[in-house]
Structure 1
Amino acid sequence: MEIFLEIVRKPAIIIAIVTLIGLLATRQKMTKVISGTIIAFVGFTMIKLGSHILSDVLRVFGAVFKKAFQLEGVVPSNEAVMSGLLSTLGSTASLVLVVGLVANIVIARFTPFKTVYLSLHLALFTAFAITAVFALTNLPVWVVIVVGGLLLGLYMAISPWMISHYTKDVVNSEDYTIAHSGSMAYYFGAFLAKKFGNKDNDAENITVNDRILFLKDPNVATMLTMFILFLVSAIVAGSGTLNEVLTELAGGKATHANMVIFSMEEGAKFAGGLFIVKAGIKLFIDELVPAFKGFAKIFAPGAIPGVDVLVLFEHSPNTALIGFLTSFATGVVMIFVLPLFGYAVIIPGLMACFITGGAAAILGNSEGGLRGAIIASVVDGLMLAVLPAVALPMFQPVFDKYKIEHTMFADPDMIATAVLLAIFVVFIPMLFGVKSLLSAKAAAAAKTAAAAGTAA
């Protein structure tokens, strides 16, 4: 089980295995099998390396930003929640994932939902969210694994299929689609963008004065944007606070940074990380898509792969930046709005804003131009803030039991899936007085969530 969990946490290995099976199934020469598998593995590893750079930069920015503006609250993080539940619910969640993966392939083979969810690290987070809901009940473990796995399998098959007709407008191909836990935000964002946007005004074709034509280069635009964000936050925080934060992040090693140089370096790191991601995307997509046809021929004829959402970023890099800033700004606004309705303060997760906000904007732009990109990324920012706040009371008994504090599941899909499950295994049984299904704390969770909804 530990080996399986380790593999699932390393999506590059999943990509390599699928590529290997596909190339063998298409009877490629052994030299092609070896080279294709390695290139796909290297390509996805580059994406993860770039993502780590982006995450590290955003972690620093988040710490400086919070200190500068004195923000305290719940910071959604799938990794933080999973690490808190791993020792107690990890085995059950991993078995839910196994059943979900099998169910996904069966559904792709025998139904119109012909997509296979390859972003298994995100499916694992969803499996933990499902398992956490079942922790509110007294149901046997085998029921949790079977029912939870079937629900996860349905999600894994339907969510990439649901947004595939929007994805093909960006990638100009029906050979693959997106498998990501922000699909609900992408779907509603693109739908509203198509309805209220203006497709003729493409965000990538914004007219730029000749004097600032350099901003059309995505690497320059990304670096300068992050430089300004860092510099403003550093100035508000002050040099003393900035050095305190950097010292804390460095594990207590004293740090002294000049604000301008610090901001320039972090902006450049961020632009470099994004460049690595885009280079890796081209490598692994070029190998995976042809190989997956061989994989599908064996397991699910006619199915297409659902891959990580970062594959969209090479198509509209400037739009992705617009989406990040818009999603983040929406989250900042919601910091002040949510407490007015009795909900917890949700601090925007910068990596979530960057990835899901950027992807939402790219899909929104393809359907409704610049206006559509902004609409879609606002939808994303609202979901990233509102869904964790609304669902937190439901998860609180489980979090309290396992001493998980100041965090929550982050992405729209996993929260929506968990809430849908909770309606059937917690709220409806309570409504009909079926107490045998519920744990001692489930009723309290339901009442708390219901009270929060009434207050809103």
Structure 2
Amino acid sequence: MNWSQIINKGLLGEPAFLLGVIALIGLLLQKASPQKLLSGTIKTMLGYILLQIGASAAGSSLSNLSIIVQRGLQMIGIMPHNETIAGLAQINYGREIAVIMLIGMALHLAIARWTPFKYVFLTGHHMLFMASMLAALLDSAHLPAWQLYGWGGLFLALAMSFGPAVSQRYVLQATGGSEFAIGHFNSVGYALSGLIAQVVGTKEKKPMPEGLKRIYPFFQDHMVVIAVFTLLLFGLSSLFVPSEALSEMFSGRHPVVVSAIQAIWFTAGVFVILSGVRMMLAEIIPAFNGIAEKIVPGAIPALDCPVLFTYAPIAAALGFLLSFIGGLAAMGTLMALQYTVIIPGVIPHFFSGGASGVIAYQVGGRRGLIVAALCHGFVITLLPVFLLPLLSSLGFVRATFADTDFAVVGLILNGLLRLFGLGAG
């Protein structure tokens, strides 16, 4: 066995091992203790395996939901869910995703060091999601491995560097000038929400009604929210399926039992995915943070979108609800057009919708919040329709990437590839 085979079938052939090596190198650069070296390496690999286990569980539940929707409404249902689709992509492109992340993070730090875009993207799981989307899209173009790694790493770096800049104007308005940006691949959605709120809203921000403040604690535990909304999705979808057909599909179980178990199964899968992602990236990201502090003077941290929730908690809850309603409107539009139906995903509307609600309220008051959040939900539900044909290498997996930037980056990259006769149709 030559060195090429050793690398391809050893280091690069097993993504969990490759990510463990990356974490090990980062910890060595930080001069971590032997205990931390061992702990960090093992937790990184364990986190990756947990991600795959959770993706399998959540993907199974989504498949059942799509079957129910398709059987009852005679349509194909796809749910935008980053964690699930990224987990499924890991199964096919684990090595490619790991290499794209490594190249992308290195190029991203170089851009921050030598250009005016000083943002350092610290939301590790979204790096993983974007790398997963890029790997699947580039593989469908049948590029050689070195081109796939190069294009993927470059576009990941550009997305991490320029994404925070797209929404920063409105983030500063929402936070009163706090020294951070948003590192979450819904930058176009946040900018759109801020722009709409600025146009239709008012600068006067009236306080939220007391009744809303009493129900807000319910929305603070997003796992409970996911379970309840998934239960409602299963329950409502089951109403359109004849009871005998539903009984046949699920071995005679009552529809209520089916809905409850599938909702909890999906939520458990999401919980395992999130736990795995947090465990895996908690060991890798600090290593790059330390490098960033040394080589990027004046760096602006780009953080995950929930940091905005504290600036207007009730607006975050309303943003979630209104965004979800906008998503339902988009689903109805697709059904009317007899097109592939995108079922609004709870997670993107909870996080992205909540953050867009804060931005819209801080920029345009109540009116801005209502109009912008509804439009945001409609857009993030509709955009994945244009991304679906580009991910042909993943097959029909009943899930796709959520949030605006995935579709925007995917369409731009596919357009460039098509110039060379390589892109998807």
Same fold by TM-score, threshold 0.5 exceeded? Answer: yes
Q: Please name the residue that 1:311 is paired with.
A: 307
Secondary structure of 1:425's partner? helix
Other-structure match for 2:322: 326
Alpha-carbon spacing, 1:105–1:229, altered in 2? closer, same or farther (3 Å): closer
Computed over aligned residues only, the root mean square deviation of the Cα atoms, in angstroms, reads 4.9
Q: Give the drift of 1:254.
A: 7.7
Cα distance in 2 between the residues matched to 1:341 and 1:66: 16
- Which secondary structure state, in structure 2, belongs to the residue aligned with residue 74 of structure 1? strand
Contact 1:130 1:148 in 2 (8 A): yes
Give SS of 1:133's match. helix
Determine if contact 1:343/1:390 at 8 Å carries over to the other structure: no
Is the Cα contact below 8 Å between 2:69 and 2:77 reproduced in 1? Answer: no
Deviations 1:251-301 (A, max 9, x none): x9989989xxx9xxx9xx9xxx9xxxxxxxxxx9xxx99x99976441200
User: Is 1:111 aligned with 2:128?
Assistant: no
Match of 1:96 in 2: 100
Q: Is the 8 A contact 1:75 1:407 kept in 2?
A: yes
Name the CA distance, whole Å, in 1 between partners of 2:315 and 2:71.
28
Moved more, 414-423 or 379-388: 379-388
Q: What residue is the counterpart of 1:434 in the other structure?
A: none
Amino acid at match of 1:141: A
User: Judging changes above 3 Å, is the alpha-carbon distance between structure 1 residues 7 and 323 closer, same or farther for their aligned structure 2 residues?
Assistant: farther
- 2:84 aligned residue (80, 83, 90): 80
Match of 1:451 in 2: none
Are residues 309 and 214 of structure 1, via their aligned partners in 2, closer, same or farther at CA, if it must alter by over 3 Å? closer
Could you tell me which residue of structure 1 aligns to residue 357 of structure 2?
Answer: 361
Distance verdict in 2 for CA 1:3–1:343, change over 3 Å: same
Q: Output the CA distance in 2 between the equivalents of 1:409 and 1:80.
A: 9
Give the aligned partner of residue 168 of structure 2. 164
Partner of residue 219, structure 1? 217
- Deviations along 1:230-254, one digit per CA (max 9) or x if unpaired, are 789869968x999x99xx99xx998
SS of residue matched to 2:117: coil
Letter in 2 for 1:134: L
CA 1:342 to 1:18, structure 2 compared with 1: closer, same or farther past 3 Å? farther
- Tell me the TM-score normalized by structure 2: 0.69
What is the distance in 2 between the residues matched to 1:383 and 1:339?
A: 16
Q: What is the rounded CA distance, in whole Å, between the counterparts of 1:102 and 1:139 in structure 2?
A: 22
Q: CA deviation at 1:69?
A: 8.2
User: Separation in 1 of the partners of 2:29 and 2:309?
Assistant: 27
Residue-by-residue CA offset, 1:7-49 (whole Å, 9 max, x unaligned)? 9999xx99xx999999x9xxxxx9xxx9xxxxxx9xxx9xxxx
Q: Give the CA deviation at 1:93.
A: 2.1
**Partners in 1 of 2:242 and 2:100 — Cα distance?**
45
Aligned-partner Cα distance in 1 for 2:375–2:401 = 18
CA shift at 1:107, angstroms? 0.9
Structure 2: state its 5+ residue gaps: 1-10, 37-42, 48-53, 272-281
Distance 1:163 1:338, change over 3 A: same
Q: 2:129 aligns with which of 100, 125, 128?
A: 125
The 1:188–1:6 alpha-carbon spacing in structure 2 relative to 1, beyond 3 Å, is farther
**Structure 1 residues 346 and 227, CA, compared in 2 at 3 Å: closer, same or farther?**
closer
1:344 equivalenced with 2:344 (yes/no): no
| Letter of the 2:130 counterpart | T
In structure 2, C-alpha distance between the alignment counterparts of 1:232 and 1:136, rounded to whole Å: 32
**How far apart in 1 are the matches of 2:311 and 2:26?**
25
CA spacing shift, 1:216–1:200, aligned 2, 3 Å: farther
How does the TM-score come out when normalised to structure 1? 0.65
The alignment status of 1:421 with 2:413, answered yes or no, reads yes
Structure 1: which 5+ runs fail to align? 25-29, 35-40, 46-51, 274-283, 430-437, 447-456
Q: Report the counterpart of residue 153 of structure 1 in structure 2.
A: 157
Q: How far did residue 73 of structure 1 move?
A: 0.8
Q: Distance in 1 between the 2:27 and 2:372 partners?
A: 33
1:87 Cα shift? 3.6
* Residue 409 (structure 1) aligns with: 401
Aligned-pair CA distance for 1:420:
0.2
Name which of 294, 298, 316 aligns with 1:298: 294
AA partner of residue 120 (structure 2): V
What CA distance in whole angstroms lies between the structure 2 residues aligned with 1:220 and 1:182? 24
Partner of 1:135, secondary structure, is helix
Give aligned-pair identity as a percent: 25
User: Residue 72 of structure 1 contacts residue 347 of structure 1 at CA under 8 Å; is this kept in 2?
Assistant: no
Residue 102 of structure 2 aligns to a residue in which SS?
A: helix
| In 1: Cα distance, 2:237 partner to 2:397 partner | 28
C-alpha contact 2:121 2:302 (8 A) present in aligned 1: yes
Q: Distance in 2 between the 1:112 and 1:146 partners?
A: 23
Q: How many residues align?
A: 373
How far apart in 2 are the matches of 1:194 and 1:8? 46
CA distance in 1, matches of 2:378, 2:194: 14
Work out whether 1:381 is the aligned partner of 2:381.
Answer: no
Deviations 1:82-107 (A, max 9, x none): 33332432212221111111111111
1:140 equivalenced with 2:132 (yes/no): no
Q: Counterpart amino acid of 2:195?
A: F
